[in-house]
Structure 1
Amino acid sequence: MNSLVSIIIPTYNRAHLIGETLDSLLAQTYTNWECIVVDDGSTDNTLSVLKKYKEKDKRFHYYKRPDVSRKGANACRNYGIEKSNGDYINFFDSDDIMVSNKIELKLKKIFETKTDYVISKTIDFHHPSSNEVFLSTSLNYNFKAYPLNHYNYICQLLNWLTPDALICSKLVKQISFNDKLSRGQEYNFYTKLTLLSENGCFLNKFLTKRRLHDVSIRNQFTQNEVDKHTVKLRVITLKEIYSKTPKNVKRWFVANIIKNITRVNMILKPNEELLLITDLYKFYGIKSVVYYLFSRSSKYIFGRNEFVRLRLKKSLK
């Protein structure tokens, strides 16, 4: 077991934190790795921090996101994929910490099970003013309840985070992160991965520590904004996989899109609603448009649309 593992880390103004992340790589019990850090245009001293680590260890590589690429972590990850040389790839974030045997355990699991990728678990941590470390879990992985397959993932019966997967690079290089997404990119990416291969396995261990910050990005959005983003995420993802995904997955996506957009009185601009209706028609024909319009009307007139929501999944066949 001497495979090269590429660890791809996008970063932006994390000079005060990325050192801890890189130190956790140096502490890995498995040593045949390369770390590719892609800078998204930092204005702090990230460059000087990385120079020190590159001088200390040649396994660290530092790149700046090309100007022609869209700004954001997803474009950085895609550029990191281009620059990677590993047999396996693990994405990571520039403020998180790896447990010291993370890579070793995951590689061992892949070779034992002869799978294309392995999924471990992440635990959240934060340092309050007392510098005491608090740990908590924020994700119900459901590894024991459901088998790993494409349908269970897209329905979110199974869920995991971006750094949890160690993946055969041959698979990773057939897909990419959608750089138009600022949130939900892991759902989009792993939907495409599980469609490409269901030959994965779970490692029921917490091997990543995710740093919690004082201000959560998620908490900055209203429920209406969250619902709109969910609809956008589902539409974008369905467009990418439509020609290859099974019919039951397409049916679930269309039902979920309609359900989310009519769950609350979501306000859409006329052009947004027209685009959505057009997409629904392309995805599932006139039936999906009729259900959408009926569900919207039911919500506005009666204040509820439970009947439509309950019947929708059975009807879209």
Structure 2
Amino acid sequence: MIDISVIIPVYNAAQFLEKAVASAVHFDEVKEIILVEDKSTDNSLEISKKLAAENPKIKLFQHPDKGNHGAGATRNLGIEKATRSFITFLDADDYYLPNRFDAEKEIFNDPKIEGVFSAIGVEYLTEKGKQEYLTKFKDSPLTTVNYPAEGEEVFRGLLSLTPKTFGTFFHLNALTIRKSAIERNKLRFNENLRVHQDSDFNIKLSYHCYLKSGIIDKAVAIRGIHDDNRITKIVQYSPQYNQRQHIYWKSLYDWASANNLPQEYKKRIYLSFTSFDLSQKKGLTKYINILLEGIKNPEILKTKYRFNYYR
């Protein structure tokens, strides 16, 4: 049987937290639930203390200064505190379904598999949250990939380098990783990213570790959609969106350069980073830089890159 640490970052999740914990604690595979409280302004800390007192599986931590450090730093602290062979994540306003670890129980019999990812669904908790989500993501009942994949194909798919469309991405709620693989590759969330830490982490993880898709045609966890979901607040291709994408792709660009990725991968990341970098420039300078970059790298004039900086 696999032994799992579930990491739950807790910030202003008082109305959801007990349901999230209850969805995970009953699994035999789950040996500990690590709540990392990030200086909530509601009564999340009190609820976390109550849950930890009621069940020895549940452990509560805070940052050493008891301050607010964001989701990336909070998940990183959870990784440091995890003691089991496998790590999973669960957002405090989401929950697992009964089939959450069905694929893992089979796939991890192969020692070369270092991580498994599956599909998640959505539950609309408020009407406003629903409308914001549907405006941004249309009618997407599942967050998943479009076909089974493993190994390098996962990384290539996430970078849109496969002949077929791989799909959007996979969600942390449906990812299980060997802790030894995280430690061996020194993988952590980028604490400088306020959003997109998960996408940044997943791409780096899929390059360094051997991942395999699990259940991708039905949900193994549910994401709660409500008024306070940060990811739905950002209007696509708005200045705020472009700025955050710029920071995200710069994180990947710096990582690709530091790790000396193959040229094909470095160029794909460079072009995306440069496209959003150009979107930050103003006036005539912007178009001069676009022209110069187009001469140097004609591929950046393709629609998938051009669409970013023309906004």
Bucket of the pairwise TM-score, normalised by the shorter protein: 0.7 to 0.9
Which one has the largest radius of gyration?
Answer: 1
Count of residues in correspondence between the two structures: 280
Match for 1:309: what amino acid?
Answer: L
Change in CA separation of 1:70 and 1:177 when aligned onto 2, cut-off 3 Å: farther
**1:220: which partner in 2?**
233
Asked if 1:187 corresponds to 2:199, the answer is yes
Q: Which amino acid aligns with 1:186?
A: D
Alignment of 1:203-218 (within 5 A): 203-204=215-216, 205-218=218-231
Return structure 1 stretches of 4+ with deviation > 6 angstroms.
none
1:122-271 map, 5 Å: 122-128=120-126, 137=141, 139-144=143-148, 148-155=153-160, 157-158=166-167, 159-173=169-183, 174-204=186-216, 205-222=218-235, 223-242=238-257, 243-262=259-278, 266-268=279-281
Q: CA deviation at 1:309?
A: 0.9
TM-superposed CA distance for 1:176, in Å, is 0.1
Give the Cα–Cα distance (whole angstroms) in 2 for the partners of residues 110 and 212 of structure 1: 31
Shift of 1:15: 1.5
One-letter identity of the residue aligned with 1:252: R
Consecutive unaligned residues in structure 2, runs of 5 or more: 128-138, 306-311
CA–CA separation in structure 2 for the residues paired with 1:235 and 1:46? 34
**CA-CA distance at 1:155 after TM superposition:** 3.0
2:112 and 2:293 map into 1 onto residues whose CA distance is 46
> Which residue of structure 1 aligns with residue 136 of structure 2?
none
TM-score norm. by structure 1 comes to 0.76
Q: Deviations over 1:172-198 (max 9, x none)?
A: 222100000011111211121112123
Q: CA RMSD in A?
A: 3.4
CA distance in 2, matches of 1:32, 1:166: 12
> How far did 1:107 drift?
3.0
Question: What letter corresponds to residue 79 of structure 2 in structure 1?
Answer: I
Map of 1:59 onto structure 2:
57
* 1:261–1:240 distance in 2 versus 1, CA, 3 Å: closer
Taking the aligned partners of 1:170 and 1:69, their CA distance within structure 2 comes to: 29
Counterpart residue identity of residue 201, structure 2? F
CA distance in 2, matches of 1:138, 1:212: 13
Unpaired runs of 5+ residues, structure 1, are: 130-134, 278-289, 298-305
Change (3 A) 1:58 1:269: farther
- How far apart, CA to CA, are the structure 2 residues paired with 1:53 and 1:221? 33
CA deviations 1:16-41 (Å, max 9, x no partner) are 2100101111333x344210000001
Secondary structure, counterpart of 2:214 in structure 1 = strand
For 1:94, the aligned partner's letter is: A
TM-score, normalised with respect to structure 2: 0.78
Q: 1:239 to 1:128 in 2, by over 3 A?
A: closer
